[in-house]
Amino acid sequence: MLKLLITCEHGGNQIPSAYAALFENKQEILQSHRGYDIGALELYEKLEDMADKAFCSTTSRLLVELNRSQHHKSLFSAITQSLPDKEKKTILKNYYFPYRNRIEELIQDLVMVGHRVLHISLHSFTPILDGEVRKADIGLLYDPKRSGEHTFCRLWKKELQDQQKELLVRFNYPYLGIADGFATYLRKKFTDEQYIGIELEVNQKYAEEGGEAWLKLQQLIRRSLKNALLQFSPEEKNRASA
C-alpha cells in the first residue's frame, strides 16, 4: 500500500536561544527567502492532514541546512560556517540528525512491512534571484530515471493545469531534482519500488502577496495532489471510497 509522507524542511526562521547572539542585527536576512521558505509552513498546514505522517522544521536554514547532505558546502550558512567544529557537531546532533533520522527511520519501518512511500517535500522559491526572474508558478522536482517519480509528476502536473490552465508548472525547475537534497539522499537508501521522492517548489510571490490568489493556490495544490494520488494508486481509490 502507498503511504504519503509530507515534510517541510524550511518552515520557519526560528533561532534557538543558545545561538541568538550570532544572529543579532540579522533580522532582515532571517525574514528573507534566505532565512526560510516563505509560505511553505502555510502550505504544509493545508496538506498535513492528507498525509499518513508529516514532519516540519521551523528552525532557520541559516543555523543548519536540513536539505543538504552532511558534507555539502552549504550545510552551514555564512553566519555559522566559522563556528568551531565542536559547536557545529553540537548543532548537527541537536537539530540536523534528529529531523533527518526520524524520517529515514520511518520510511525504513514502512518499507520493511511492505509499503511504498510517496514523499512530498514542500519548498518555495524567491521570484527573483540575482536579478533573474524565475519563470514558473510551481516546480516539480524529481529524478527522471525513477519511473515512479516520473509517472507521479506527470499526473500531478496534468491535474494542476487541468484545474487552472494558465498556471505555469515546470519539471525540475528552478532546481534539478537530482541536485543535492534530502530526497536525493533517500533515493540512495531505497529503491524506486520502495520510495518516491518529489520536491514541490512554489513561487513565493503568492505567499508574499497573500489574499485570495494565495488561498486558491493552496486549495488547488491540495485538490490536485488528492486527484493525482487517486490515479496513481488503486489503494487510494479504495481508501477514498471507504
DSSP calls for 180-193: SSHHHHHHHHS-TT
Task: Please give the angle made by the CA atoms of 183, 184 and 187, to the nearest 5 degrees.
Answer: 85
Digits of tens for pLDDT over the chain (242 positions)? 999 999 999 999 999 999 999 999 999 999 999 999 999 999 999 999 999 999 999 999 999 999 999 999 999 999 999 999 999 999 999 999 999 999 999 999 999 999 999 999 999 999 999 999 999 999 999 999 999 999 999 999 999 999 999 999 999 999 999 999 999 999 999 999 999 999 999 999 999 999 999 999 999 999 999 999 999 986 554 444 43
Q: Is 62 in a helix, a strand, or coil?
A: coil
Specify the CATH number of the domain 2-241: 3.40.630.40
pTM, two decimal places: 0.94
Where exactly are the structural domains of the chain? 2-241
Cβ atoms of 119 and 195 closer than 8 Å: yes
pLDDT of residue 235: 57
Written as one letter, the residue type at 83 is: L
Between CA 236 and CA 239 the distance in angstroms is 5
Q: Phi/psi at 134 (nearest 5 deg)?
A: -80, 125
Between CA 123 and CA 129 the distance in angstroms is 16
